[in-house]
Amino acid sequence: MTPGSRTRLVLVPSYNPGPKVYDTVREARAHWSPVWVVVDGSTDGTADGLRRMAASDAGLRVLVLERNCGKGAAVLHGLDIAAREGFTHALTMDSDGQHPAALIGQFMAASEREPDAMVLGKPVFDASAPALRVNGRKVSNGWADLETLWMGIGDSLYGFRVYPIEPLRQVMQGQRWMRRFDFDPEAVVRMCWRGVRPVNLPAPVKYLSAAEGGVSHFNYLRDNVLLTWMHSRLLAGFLLRLPLLLWRRLRSSRR
């Protein structure tokens, strides 16, 4: 029987993922209920297909944004509704089949043990992972470590993770960034600044070929420029918060 929860849900932002999204949602539903998909202005027909799936599945809900607003905006839309309906935690995962639905239960259990923490997937790559992507993320991870004084972020970019909803909503509503591809790394840094501790769990990641139904919207130039601008902002915020972060680190070491 699929585990069900009234406080924890799976949240899947989705933009033009192609037919692979149906496999992703079926796998997520096999391991958890409820699963919500936020269709972020998709034009590939998957919104209608997902609605048909939800019509015969009480554990699946589909929210549709009429225009593409970005991953972070789609997540925030889902979080706002989830908070109003009494949910306290959300596991986010991508719609393109890269994330391991079989580990949803394990991540939710870790979140239940430490509800004030965020449970972050630490990617385990196989031979399908492009070397440029694997090596490039080391730069973002290095900056995230510095910006949090090495608070323990295992990977800043991997989007398979469980967040406590209310702290994340407050972080996002407090500024206008984190609405697109910059959502995942900026979220973990700013949550650390709020004192939300990261818990890291290993999780495999798949890079699917086009023949396997893989779809990627990553643009090396555009998205790396976005990440550079994001870390510039975060570094400025880090310098302003440095005394507080140092005090927390000192207090933690004394414990």
CATH classification at residue 73: 3.90.550.10
What pLDDT score was predicted for residue 247?
87
Phi and psi torsions of 66, nearest 5°: -70, -25
Phi and psi torsions of 208, nearest 5°: -80, 140
* In-domain check, residue 187: yes
Write the CA distances from 71 to 16, 40, 115, integer angstroms.
Answer: 12, 7, 24
* In-domain check, residue 1: no
* In-domain check, residue 129: yes
Low-confidence ranges of the chain (pLDDT < 70): 1, 132-133, 208-224, 253, 255
What pLDDT score was predicted for residue 136?
74
Q: Is the peptide bond before 164 cis (omega within 30 degrees of 0)?
A: no
What pLDDT score was predicted for residue 182?
87
Question: How many domains, in total, are found in the chain?
Answer: 1
Domain that residue 204 falls in: 8-254
* In-domain check, residue 16: yes
Helix, strand, or coil here: 37?
Answer: strand
* In-domain check, residue 66: yes
Q: 32: closest CA among 116, 117, 109, 139?
A: 109
* In-domain check, residue 3: no
* In-domain check, residue 176: yes
For 207-242, how does the pLDDT look when each residue is reduced to its tens digit (9 = 90+)? Answer: 765 665 555 655 556 666 878 888 999 999 999 999
What pLDDT score was predicted for residue 4?
81
What pLDDT score was predicted for residue 251?
78
